[in-house]
Structure 1
Amino acid sequence: MSVEYDFSVPTLGPAKVESPIDYSNIEGDQIANFVGDQQRIIYDVSMPADGGQRSFAGNELIEVAGPRRRIYFAPGHVHAGIVTCGGLCPGLNDVIRAITRCLWYRYGVHRISGIQFGYRGLLPEHGVPTVPLNPDVVDDIHRIGGTILGSSRGGGHRTEDLVDTIERMNLNILFTIGGDGTQKGALAIAEEIERRRLKIAVVGIPKTIDNDLSFTEKSFGFETAVAKATEVVFGAHAEAHSSVNGIGLVKVMGRDSGFIASHTALASHEVNFVLIPEVEFQLKGDNGLLVHLERRLERRNHAVIVVAEGAGQHLLTQSDATDASGNRRYADIGLYLKNEISSYFDARNREINLKYIDPSYIVRSAPAEPTDSVYCSRLGHNAVHAAMAGKTKVLMGLVNNTFVHVPIQMAVGSRNRINPDSSLWRDVIESTHQPVRM
């Protein structure tokens, strides 16, 4: 049964202003082209073996991102704001840099305000000043980790207060760089702006190191996170391999999805057990992790385990506590496994050498790897083109290797998670040789 999608992207009004960018609409003239609003792609490209035909309504096709020949805003009148929210992620500064330079050099927009410390920077009681952004300010920031604007969690639920500040600042465009909670806040802001009949574009850039936002093939920072986590696994393997019954236990990010854990295992070729939130496992019993770990040590004298932070929560005492973003605080599966593994082998009077490593904050604060930096630049440029064309309530996405406009409502409707029936998880099983179920 096919799933119905509505990829309609709202606009602030007719685009009547000629773009200042000197591109072409002619294929084959060796001049970079504009993108037309009618250029769309199919989201689901799968087809049954017996073929057949499929037809699509306009709203079932995804709008291709890129510069438009006619834009909504007159560049000289534009005041744009950029805000980074939530936890740190490699590539934040790359996105800020790309947005600023594209606004400045391609459109001639010279009023760009950096909003400091997330949505908190839009709440008057905090008294946080904005930072004027220009090419000189952002020129070298891609070489450092974190975000030059600072970040924080929470505040996105105070929609009316946020829009009051946006009005006072006379912003025409707000770029929101963040994950699920940030974009839900951005959608609420855009809806309040619409209720007040203001002409302000809200454009999101997906930032979730866990890679769990829907309708985008990957989030920026993900590839850097895998690269850094892979380096940690190499170290954990060296420690385990050089010890008597050595065990390397590495906890990586992944509250509700195991993409970092899975890709790290595939990239390192050194992992024997991968534990992710999407696949429950048992610790004890004849088919539990502990028994399989013991058998691995008997065969090879060492083992490496990678666990996503949200894995195994069914084994732990749960709490109703939440963080500032409203996310439920998870119990620490890494420390739990460390203690349980140690107790298991202590009870059998068997020596092990267990090294537990949690590199989360090192990974989050790293500068972007080159592949991520390229991706960040392209996301930032396309976000600017969308905003200047008057698109709103929209998130930049990558679908079928094409940059597209995804309605924020669609992107935050569900989380992207690993399908245990998929080829990705099958490849993990084949790489680690762990049991199909534990």
Structure 2
Amino acid sequence: MEAISPTIKLVVPTRIYGGGYGDQASLFASQVNYNCKKNMKRMKIVMQATEENKKGGSNNISSNVDMSDPDWKHKFEEEFEERFRIPHLTDVFPQAVAYPSTFCLRMRSPVSEKFAHGYPSDEEWHGYINDNDRVLLKVIRYSSPTSAGAECIDPNCTWVEQWVHRAGPRDKIYFKPEDVKAAIVTCGGLCPGLNDVIRQIVITLEIYGVKKIVGIPFGYRGFRDSDLDEMPLSRKVIQNIHLSGGSVLGVSRGSPPVSEIVDSMEERGINMLFVLGGDGTHAGANAIHNECWKRKLKVAVVGVPKTIDNDILLMDKTFGFDTAVEEAQRAINSAYIEAHSAYRGIGIVKLMGRSSGFIAMHASLASGQIDICLIPEVPFNLHGHHGVLSHLKYLLETKGSAVVCVAEGAGQNLVQKTNAKDASGNVVFGDIGVLIQQETKKHFKEIGSVADVKYIDPTYMIRACRANASDGILCAVLGQNAVHGAFAGYSGITVGICNTHYAYFPISEVITHTRQVDPNSRMWHRCLTSTGQPDFY
């Protein structure tokens, strides 16, 4: 069946946006008619992008279950339960002994050494998590695959329960606190909240009764480089570190061989390792976990997802994201003031987001000042009758100014390719922000039109700042639950927030691919409603 392009007779008001007459109104009508005629094309491209995301970038869970099997639903749920089973020390050490938990928030004042192996009131304290507690991964029951943001297992959108393990303290622990030497390492780039997580890990370890806590300086390289000494950590040392940004331990990219890291851990007597980092860092943590168990080492390796881009699978959000969106408002507001105050001003803001446009999307929606939001997940053209530059011309003629927000990974097909890679092995992207700035100036000069273009790149200002209150709470709970997971005997896991509840995930399941914005999601549609931008392809 052929798609029918609608024909619209548009009655245009005599004045648009408080600007001029005539040509502006005609241009506005032409733009609306064009958008309507391209509706079918938009749907085709969006659905195609959505399918690509579901294959490699969404939160959808792939499966090897044969959907033609009448019992496929039951088999899918069994497969899911097995995949998301979190590794436990008893998998390698079946005879591992469990001890009564030393974590109890009753009778804690004053802290007494005679309760180091458990509290008389523990059985009366209902603050422990049962090992069989679960958190529902998906909470929306879609009725159709065509629903906005639908993530369906089968074409009929059959409701399938997907559960993950609830995080929190257990009543039995698998490490004696006096035998524990815990290490914390921060890898990759900076992110608001690193110090908050470090602080809470140390505080919670001390509540369990751990005396030996160290920080590994400058990422994984701190395990290898002889000139980098481990940093002793205690409540006294970390008490106020959350009041500033950055990481008290330092960060770096890259990693020595996993075998060297585990050798170093053995030499130092480290049997709990807390790793703060993104998907690459988590892949390293999973490799360390596997190597430790291969060597039959009783070690717990627990990750805390750290990515300002919010691109970790299965989680509501990662720490630092809210702060990044909030701080981005300053740059966007500055760009708006510059553009709005100038004659035919254009403000361009580049925000972080290599493969995912979550920061740009949320910041654009939060500010209400963005006219064009460009993200990696949605292709666009700069030139042409319906490209970004053409729309900027339209905005200047109707509004008198325009503000563009672009994610760093957007439009990489438009910039010059580079084979350069950073220390983590990531391809160094071309600067899309500078390209848009240059092409905008060039375009308006060529058409003989005035445009005052200002460009703002707040990247390092955003990631180096202190966590806001929302992220501070998230960091505190993540840090606490990381310690609870380690003492419970889990390893090769990471902790995150899922549908407002905290859960443990196998690291292997969150590093399969990068989470991305779904172009068919309600949040992206909300962003488009706010900006009012057309399609640029």
Aligned to 1:108: 209
8 Å contact from structure 1 (residues 309, 332) kept in 2: yes
The amino acid of 1:217's aligned partner reads: D
Aligned to 2:236: 136
**Are residues 251 and 52 of structure 1, via their aligned partners in 2, closer, same or farther at CA, if it must alter by over 3 Å?**
closer
Q: Alignment partner for residue 11 of structure 1, among 88, 106, 110?
A: 88
Question: Residue 315 of structure 1 aligns to a residue in which SS?
Answer: coil
The amino acid of 1:127's aligned partner reads: D
Deviation at 1:43, TM superposition (A): 1.4
Question: Residue 41 of structure 1 aligns to a residue in which SS?
Answer: strand
Deviation at 1:354, TM superposition (A): 1.1
Aligned to 1:94: 196
Q: Residues 308-364 of structure 1: CA distance to partner in whole angstroms, max 9, x if unpaired? A: 000000111211221100111110101111100000011122221111000000001
Structure 1 distance, partners of 2:536, 2:445, is 26
Structure 2 distance, partners of 1:349, 1:53, is 58
Aligned to 1:256: 355
Structure 2 distance, partners of 1:316, 1:358, is 17
Structure 2 distance, partners of 1:238, 1:48, is 42
Question: Residue 314 of structure 1 aligns to a residue in which SS?
Answer: coil
Structure 2 distance, partners of 1:117, 1:2, is 34
> What are the residue-to-residue correspondences of 1:282-321 with 2, within 5 Å?
282-321=381-420
8 Å contact from structure 1 (residues 277, 311) kept in 2: yes
Deviation at 1:216, TM superposition (A): 1.2
Q: Alignment partner for residue 308 of structure 2, among 203, 209, 212?
A: 209
Structure 2 distance, partners of 1:400, 1:3, is 20
8 Å contact from structure 2 (residues 382, 536) kept in 1: no
Question: Residue 89 of structure 2 aligns to a residue in which SS?
Answer: coil
8 Å contact from structure 2 (residues 173, 487) kept in 1: yes
Structure 1 distance, partners of 2:535, 2:158, is 37
Deviation at 1:42, TM superposition (A): 2.3
Unaligned 5+ segments in structure 2 are 1-59, 64-79, 91-95, 107-122, 145-155
**Are residues 281 and 64 of structure 1, via their aligned partners in 2, closer, same or farther at CA, if it must alter by over 3 Å?**
same
Aligned to 2:141: 47
Deviation at 1:3, TM superposition (A): 3.8
Aligned identity (percent) is 43
**Are residues 41 and 167 of structure 1, via their aligned partners in 2, closer, same or farther at CA, if it must alter by over 3 Å?**
same
Deviation at 1:113, TM superposition (A): 0.5
Aligned to 2:177: 75
The amino acid of 2:220's aligned partner reads: Y
Q: Residues 102-152 of structure 1: CA distance to partner in whole angstroms, max 9, x if unpaired? A: 101x2011100100000010014x421000000011000001010000000
Aligned to 1:148: 248
Structure 1 distance, partners of 2:333, 2:262, is 48
The TM-score, its normalising length taken from structure 2, stands at: 0.77
The TM-score, its normalising length taken from structure 1, stands at: 0.94
Q: Does 1:369 align with 2:446?
A: no
Unaligned 5+ segments in structure 1 are none
Q: Alignment partner for residue 199 of structure 1, among 287, 298, 309?
A: 298
Q: Does 1:21 align with 2:115?
A: no
Q: Give structure 1 regions of 4+ aligned residues with deviation exceeding 6 angstroms.
A: 50-53
Q: Does 1:381 align with 2:462?
A: no
**Are residues 70 and 290 of structure 1, via their aligned partners in 2, closer, same or farther at CA, if it must alter by over 3 Å?**
same
Aligned to 1:435: 534
Deviation at 1:159, TM superposition (A): 0.5
8 Å contact from structure 1 (residues 115, 122) kept in 2: yes
Question: Residue 183 of structure 2 aligns to a residue in which SS?
Answer: strand
8 Å contact from structure 1 (residues 83, 175) kept in 2: yes
Deviation at 1:48, TM superposition (A): 4.3
> What are the residue-to-residue correspondences of 1:233-248 with 2, within 5 Å?
233-248=332-347
Question: Residue 83 of structure 1 aligns to a residue in which SS?
Answer: strand
**Are residues 15 and 94 of structure 1, via their aligned partners in 2, closer, same or farther at CA, if it must alter by over 3 Å?**
farther
The amino acid of 2:336's aligned partner reads: H
Question: Residue 403 of structure 1 aligns to a residue in which SS?
Answer: strand
Structure 2 distance, partners of 1:47, 1:96, is 38
8 Å contact from structure 1 (residues 212, 417) kept in 2: yes
The amino acid of 1:292's aligned partner reads: H
Structure 2 distance, partners of 1:53, 1:348, is 55
Aligned to 2:286: 187
Structure 2 distance, partners of 1:139, 1:128, is 23
8 Å contact from structure 1 (residues 23, 34) kept in 2: no
Question: Residue 120 of structure 1 aligns to a residue in which SS?
Answer: helix
The amino acid of 2:261's aligned partner reads: L
**Are residues 53 and 350 of structure 1, via their aligned partners in 2, closer, same or farther at CA, if it must alter by over 3 Å?**
closer
Deviation at 1:31, TM superposition (A): 5.3
Aligned to 1:340: 439
Aligned to 2:513: 414
Deviation at 1:15, TM superposition (A): 5.7
The amino acid of 1:141's aligned partner reads: I
8 Å contact from structure 2 (residues 87, 490) kept in 1: yes
Which range is displaced more, 144-153 or 46-55? 46-55
Structure 2 distance, partners of 1:117, 1:151, is 4
**Are residues 52 and 164 of structure 1, via their aligned partners in 2, closer, same or farther at CA, if it must alter by over 3 Å?**
closer
The amino acid of 1:298's aligned partner reads: E
Which range is displaced more, 375-384 or 314-323? 314-323
Q: Alignment partner for residue 119 of structure 1, among 202, 208, 220?
A: 220
